[in-house]
Structure 1
Amino acid sequence: MKTRYIFSMGQIQRKDNSIAFKNEKGWHYVPVEGVREIYFMNEVSLNTKFLDFAARAGIVLHFFNYHGGYSGTFYPKEHYISGRLKIAQVNAYNRYRLDIAKSIILAVAENLRFLLYHYYRHGKQELKAILDWLNYDIKNIVEKTTTIKQLLYVEGQMWIRFYDTFNSLLPLNFQMQARVKRPPNNPINALISFGNTLLYTKTISAIYQTHLDQSISFLHEPMESRFSLSLDLSEAFKPVVVFRTIFELINRRKIRVDDHFEKRLNYAILNREGKKIFIQAFESRLSSKFVHSKLKRNVSLEHAIKLDGYKLIKYLLNQDMFNPFSIKEKQ
């Protein structure tokens, strides 16, 4: 199993060549082979000996607090290092940043359109206006932008229009009103924040397996204390991974407000059972495979994130076209 989730409080340490975790039920042992990342969804105690063990095994550790908020990532010492690529990445930031950022926004628009078209075909005719906008107008709007600031405004408008469709797609108790992130203020905002954070951390793990520098991004501003390139590469996957998961869990009543959110916190945080249900559906979607239209072989959505890293590398080194993940690759 590549990914392990730990939901209970406890203690984790190295035991020979295994990961040993102790909670109220006793010790649990996991062989280190095959573990690529561990998600700690609750408070755990560990020591530097375990961190060294995880680093040498190439295991990425993601930490969340009790409320599901992302605390940070322990990132093993980079072993995929390329000075040539780093120079190319910096040069691309200086010379081609806007082009790369535009490619990301257009991929998001394409995948949002695909997601909404599914509901349009099943009777939601009120979605025609936004579908036409995403299909015909957004490309011209993006092409006319001349600065990152303008492009980010276009992206913001795209997401606002998308969120406005929730009134048609989701039941009343999952309506949004407005996107609120830190902290979320209602169930739908809680799901979006949780899903986006999971996807962000998955992208961190994927980029770790490439030679890309996590701190040099193109759409999002490169900043200290965050992996901004992961924010870039995760964008195109939000519609097909995060929002498809959210819509299906809600509309199939697998996630319910009264059962899967913390009532004492205004239903704005998933409870432990809610997190487990969401993560199971999220992992299932990431592991689902499709026949890649160009590669002509089965590829999982999770592997497609890594492939986007390789696409970016080819662009940086060879000036090949950089086309972030599009749902068309599944067709």
Structure 2
Amino acid sequence: MGSTKYITSMGELTRKDNSLCFRKDGKNVYIPVENTKEIYCLSEVSINTKLLDFLSRNKITVHFFNYYDGYSGTFYPRDCYNSGRFLVKQVDAYNTKRLIIAKSIVESIGKNIYEVLYHYYKHDKKEVKETIDWIKEEFYENLKNANQIEQILQVEGELWQRFYSNFKYMLPEDFVMNKRVKRPPDNPINALISFGNTLLYAKTITTIYHTHLDQRISFLHAPSERRFSLSLDISEAFKPILVFKTIFDLVNNRRIQVNKHFDKKVNYCLLNEEGRKIFITAFEERLESVFLHGKLNRKVSYKTAIKLDCYKLIKFILEDVDFKPFDLKEKI
């Protein structure tokens, strides 16, 4: 998986000389440090302080997830790019330019959802036209007229709800969603969305760590004491592309099936270990897939596009250059 390692089963993660060692059922699996930037612990994993010091010196982030596939937290190595001067400017941007940045983020979500829906419209799913028309005729106008964060969030909320309402046209019946339920997810499609969003959120945390941006100062989402809220902001434009396109591909090609890849209990539904591995493989493949960038005129991966969005935000904060998150149609 390149620079990302996923641990999906219980075991112990330790330092072994200058490598990482995952011990499971009496067997050792070695993880080379030089090719690792982040580790996802998706099951119960034992660690010690000796390991944490080693991870910190090698600037490796580790994301931990709970039983319900929810994000628990991140071991975040000591910041190596922090700049007090830039932090002051980022806080100033929050105070003076928050609405501009928040609107740009929501606009990009709308553009990318439009492209995803239009793909299905072209492939004879004519029922999605109502939402496509709403985005063209009302969404942008509603967003333009929003002059408070709460109003922008309302516009965003309606956009997602209309998007979800089209799933019944794009997915088989056993994956249809009545409503979005997050903690814990209550059916297979909610389980896939929650898992995918969590993977993307953690991926964005790692990306931001390698820039001057401060994770705590966000613009669309309120800065939170419990989460790295800027990662929520940066990841939004990529959800339709990286999370939902992955879900639609896996489900419609029957690579993920309700009767094979989920554990269902009375009040919740989760991907089983095999299902998680299938999703992770598809998610990483999509992240690493490349496209011709509209401005750079060279091929870049979607993982690189996330980092480029961070740089766009930095440029806006420092130089007041328009902040336009990733646009699937324009490939910029």
Please indicate, yes or no, whether the TM-score normalized by the shorter chain is above 0.5.
Answer: yes
Amino acid at match of 2:106: I
Equivalent residue, structure 1, for 2:209: 208
Cα deviation, residue 39, structure 1: 0.7
Segments of 5+ residues of structure 2 without an aligned counterpart are none
Cα deviation, residue 136, structure 1: 3.1
Contact 1:261–1:267 (Cα < 8 Å) also in 2 = no
Equivalent residue, structure 2, for 1:70: 71
Cα deviation, residue 242, structure 1: 0.2
Residue 241 in structure 1 maps to residue 242 in structure 2: yes
Cα deviation, residue 264, structure 1: 3.8
Query: Which range moves more in the overlay, 78-87 or 191-200?
Result: 78-87
Equivalent residue, structure 2, for 1:23: 24
Equivalent residue, structure 2, for 1:290: 291
Cα deviation, residue 134, structure 1: 1.3
Cα deviation, residue 266, structure 1: 6.1
> Once the two structures are superposed, what CA deviation does each residue of 1:19-52 show, in whole Å capped at 9, x if it has no partner?
0111015111122102000011111111011001
Contact 1:294–1:329 (Cα < 8 Å) also in 2 = no
Structure 2 SS opposite 1:185: coil
Equivalent residue, structure 2, for 1:95: 96
Equivalent residue, structure 1, for 2:170: 169
Where do 1:1-331 residues align within 5 Å? 1-264=2-265, 268-330=269-331
Structure 2 SS opposite 1:207: helix
Cα deviation, residue 67, structure 1: 3.5
Task: Identify if the C-alpha distance between structure 1 residues 187 and 266 changes in structure 2 by more than 3 Å, giving closer, same or farther.
Answer: farther
Q: TM-score if structure 1 supplies the norm length?
A: 0.98
Residues in 2 aligned to 1:11 and 1:315: alpha-carbon distance in whole angstroms: 43
Structure 2 SS opposite 1:80: coil
Which runs of 4 or more aligned residues in structure 1 lie more than 4 Å from their structure 2 counterparts after TM superposition?
none
Amino acid at match of 1:320: V
Query: Which range moves more in the overlay, 123-132 or 92-101?
Result: 123-132
Residues in 1 aligned to 2:147 and 2:267: alpha-carbon distance in whole angstroms: 42
Contact 1:293–1:330 (Cα < 8 Å) also in 2 = yes
Cα deviation, residue 82, structure 1: 1.4
Contact 1:13–1:50 (Cα < 8 Å) also in 2 = yes
Contact 1:166–1:175 (Cα < 8 Å) also in 2 = yes
Question: What is the number of residues matched between the two proteins?
Answer: 331
Query: Which range moves more in the overlay, 43-52 or 132-141?
Result: 132-141
Residues in 1 aligned to 2:213 and 2:60: alpha-carbon distance in whole angstroms: 18
Residues in 2 aligned to 1:57 and 1:252: alpha-carbon distance in whole angstroms: 39
> Once the two structures are superposed, what CA deviation does each residue of 1:103-158 show, in whole Å capped at 9, x if it has no partner?
00000000000000000001011111111111232211111001000010111000
Contact 2:99–2:148 (Cα < 8 Å) also in 1 = yes
CA RMSD of aligned residues (A): 1.2
> Once the two structures are superposed, what CA deviation does each residue of 1:164-199 show, in whole Å capped at 9, x if it has no partner?
001111111101101111111111001000000000
Residues in 2 aligned to 1:4 and 1:28: alpha-carbon distance in whole angstroms: 12
Contact 1:220–1:232 (Cα < 8 Å) also in 2 = yes
Structure 1 SS opposite 2:271: coil
Residues in 1 aligned to 2:73 and 2:22: alpha-carbon distance in whole angstroms: 20
Query: Which range moves more in the overlay, 211-220 or 66-75?
Result: 66-75
> Once the two structures are superposed, what CA deviation does each residue of 1:251-274 show, in whole Å capped at 9, x if it has no partner?
000000000000345671000000
Amino acid at match of 1:10: G
Q: TM-score if structure 2 supplies the norm length?
A: 0.97
Cα deviation, residue 64, structure 1: 1.4
Structure 2 SS opposite 1:269: strand
Identity of aligned residues (%): 57
Structure 1 SS opposite 2:223: coil
